[in-house]
Amino acid sequence: MNQKNHKSGFVNIIGNPNVGKSTLMNKLIGERLSIITSKAQTTRHRILGIVNDENHQIIFSDTPGIIQPNYNLQSSMMKFVKSAFQDADIFIYMVEMGEKMLKDQSFFERLKNTSIPILLLLNKIDKSNQKEVEACSEYWTELLPKAKIIPISALEGFGVEKILDEIKKILPEGIPFYPKDTLTDRPEKFFVSEIIREKILLNYQKEVPYSVEVVIESFKDDEKIIRIGAIIIVARETQKGIIIGHQGKPLKKVGTQARKDLEIFFGKKIFLELFVKVTKNWRDNNQDLKRFGYFI
């Protein structure tokens, strides 16, 4: 590596819930680092995904969608978003076709006033036609004239190379922040709990998945099999019953789906045991939130 010609920096992805931030992150990294569902607030943490080539290290951050917090967990989620404002070399501001403005106007004002370069990604163009894309581009050019607008489809991977090319042009010169074989800052255990949480988001309705946290209690990597014990934390006794479900079948389904994804993720056989535990109102208890890895 020629250090003189090396570029590196932080590219922080922000935007409304559900616009496709995590989908893009995974496409960029080529790995499934962030969980994706059609539900808002799927992403709760700030997750780094790192793209390395000989002359570049691009450190992407996937963040929770911008919302007005109703409980402490959501306030903590917004702290991850705010932290993304502090160290960005480049912002990716993602919107979807037809969207008008951020859920939080003050974030948008900060974007307008920042001197940090912004790539405005117009996502989900696979659902639109050329005319709509043009109209949408014009709309955002007026609102945020300094941003470079790139229409993309994160889902189909359309425009992803263009994003990388643009970033490489404007990334600051500097030595890598992480070893060049690093993909993420998160330990394997984090992805195990996220994959399980994704299956909970997919299998349960209403408030229940939003009241769930997953803690990995044991992780034993034997030669041929990884043995994992995970605790599903809920906020109320009634939710425990819902998670376990009739004859334990719903929970079993979560276990089976998660195990299959984990086997792909680790390329190994997985033995997964799930337990359900009530930690009363953990979403508003700062002690619990800290324990689960949120900033207070």
Q: Where does this chain bind Mg ion (CB under 5 A)?
A: 21-22, 43
Residue 124 partner contact from Mg ion, ligand GDP, none using kind-dependent CB cut-offs of 5 to 8 Å: ligand GDP
Between 82 and 240, whose beta carbon lies closer to ligand GDP? 82
- CB 37 to Mg ion: min, Å: 9
- Report d(CA 243, CA 73) in Å as an integer: 20
Structure tokens of 46? 């700030």
Q: Considering beta carbons, is residue 23 or 279 the nearer one to ligand GDP?
A: 23
**49 touches which of ligand GDP, Mg ion, none (CB within 5 to 8 A by kind)?**
none
217 to 8, 30, 74, 221, 276: CA distances (angstroms) = 36, 28, 24, 13, 12
- Between CA 254 and CA 194 the distance in angstroms is 12
In this complex, which beta carbon is closest to ligand GDP, that of residue 93 or of residue 242? 93
CB atoms within 10 A of CB 70: 10
Q: Per-residue b/e over 15-37, b at no fewer than 16 CB within 10 Å?
A: bbebbbbbbbbbbbbeebbbbbb
CB of 38 or CB of 106, closer to ligand GDP: 38
What's the closest the beta carbon of residue 155 comes to ligand GDP, in angstroms?
3
Q: Which CB sits closer to Mg ion, 9 or 15?
A: 15
Q: Which of 159, 87, 156 lies closest to 121, judged by CA?
A: 159
Which residues would be at the binding site for ligand GDP (CB under 6 A)? 17-23, 36, 38, 42-43, 65, 123-124, 126-127, 153-155
- Picked from Mg ion, ligand GDP, none, the partner binding residue 229 (CB below 5 to 8 A depending on kind) is none
Tell the smallest beta-carbon distance from residue 21 to ligand GDP (Å). Answer: 3
Residue among 8 and 76 whose Cβ is closer to ligand GDP: 76
Q: Which does 151 bind (CB under 5 to 8 A by kind): Mg ion, ligand GDP, none?
A: none
Nearest residue to ligand GDP by CB is 20
Q: Give Cα separations from 56 to 10, 13, 89, 250 (angstroms).
A: 11, 18, 14, 45
Is residue 65 a contact partner of residue 23, using CB atoms and an 8 Å limit?
no
